Structure 1
Amino acid sequence: MSSEKSLYERLGGIEGITTIVDDIIDLHFANPGIKARYMPLKENPEHFAEVRKHLIHFLAAGSGGPQTYEGGDMVTVHTGMNISKAEYMDVMDDIMAALDKNNISEDAKKDVLAIAYSLKGQMIGV
């Protein structure tokens, strides 16, 4: 049995992941390259809460936590958004900045980055 902690544990469990997701969202609202996509969430608090919950559960479940992600698959969720490569990189930059802000280890950041990059083709231009 390995003594290495899961990515979920290295991200701080559900509390740490919730903080990271909230930081990512704040960065998206401030990022000039993508904020126009996220600002409408502020106008619909119920939808915002649902998106936030899905983001938290997606990262928690995807990192080995006990949470269940009940949102749509990446292609379905992003179809019609026509996300550009530049927008995708803005999102990635915000994710990495949030991980840095929360003092996440380099190994855990690399693992999150690998997960995010594995989904790239399911989001860009669909």
Structure 2
Amino acid sequence: MREDQVETKTLYERLGGIDGITSLVDDIVENHMTNPAVNARFLPLKEHPAHFAEVRQHLINFLAAGSGGPQEYKGKDMLASHKGMNISQGEYMHVIDDIMKALGKNKVDEPTQKDVLAIAYSLKKDIVGV
């Protein structure tokens, strides 16, 4: 293959498609549940298994659709889903760290990790302090 014919994969493909994203979401959620800086926001989900399953599926669909996959995300946008939560800058950074840890665990390559990080930072204004 010539240099000008380099195959380009979507972010969805680089994250491993739906199976990779599902694994990634499960690891991110587990990281949040065990992170003392943010787990108070996530542990209550375990008390409501049906709601937890719904939130998990929303996260999977959000990441899949947002990364170029065929899945459709029908949940709230970032601003609406975080409104009234008053998430601090510190909590946001812990969540970012949890995401990066999950990407590493899932052996996502560095360029893809940087792409995910850039997307996460682009959403910050709709998450922190709203």
Q: TM-score, normalised by structure 1?
A: 0.98
Which deviates more from structure 2 when the two are superposed, residues 1-10 or residues 17-26? 1-10
Q: TM-score, normalised by structure 2?
A: 0.95
Partner of 2:85: 81
* Structure 1 CA distance for aligned equivalents of residues 119 and 70 of structure 2: 18
* Structure 2 CA distance for aligned equivalents of residues 89 and 44 of structure 1: 26
Counterparts in 2 of 1:39-78, with a 5 A limit? Answer: 39-78=43-82
* Structure 2 CA distance for aligned equivalents of residues 2 and 8 of structure 1: 17
Partner of 1:124: 128
* Structure 2 CA distance for aligned equivalents of residues 113 and 88 of structure 1: 12
% identical equivalent positions: 64
Q: CA deviation at 1:2?
A: 6.1
Q: 2:13 aligns with which of 6, 9, 12?
A: 9
In the alignment of these two chains, the number of paired residues is 126
* Structure 1 CA distance for aligned equivalents of residues 119 and 58 of structure 2: 16
1:109 aligns with 2:113: yes
Which structure is larger by alpha-carbon Rg, 1 or 2?
A: 2
Letter in 2 for 1:86: G
Stretches of structure 2 that go unaligned for 5 or more consecutive residues are none
- Give every structure 1 segment of 4 or more consecutive aligned residues whose post-TM-superposition deviation is greater than 6 Å: none
Partner of 1:30: 34
* Structure 2 CA distance for aligned equivalents of residues 88 and 2 of structure 1: 36
- Cα displacement string for residues 16-73 of structure 1 (whole angstroms, at most 9, x for unaligned residues): 0000000000000000100000010000001101110010011101110000111001
Letter in 2 for 1:99: L
RMSD: 0.9
Partner of 2:94: 90
Stretches of structure 1 that go unaligned for 5 or more consecutive residues are none
Distance 1:69 1:2, change over 3 A: farther
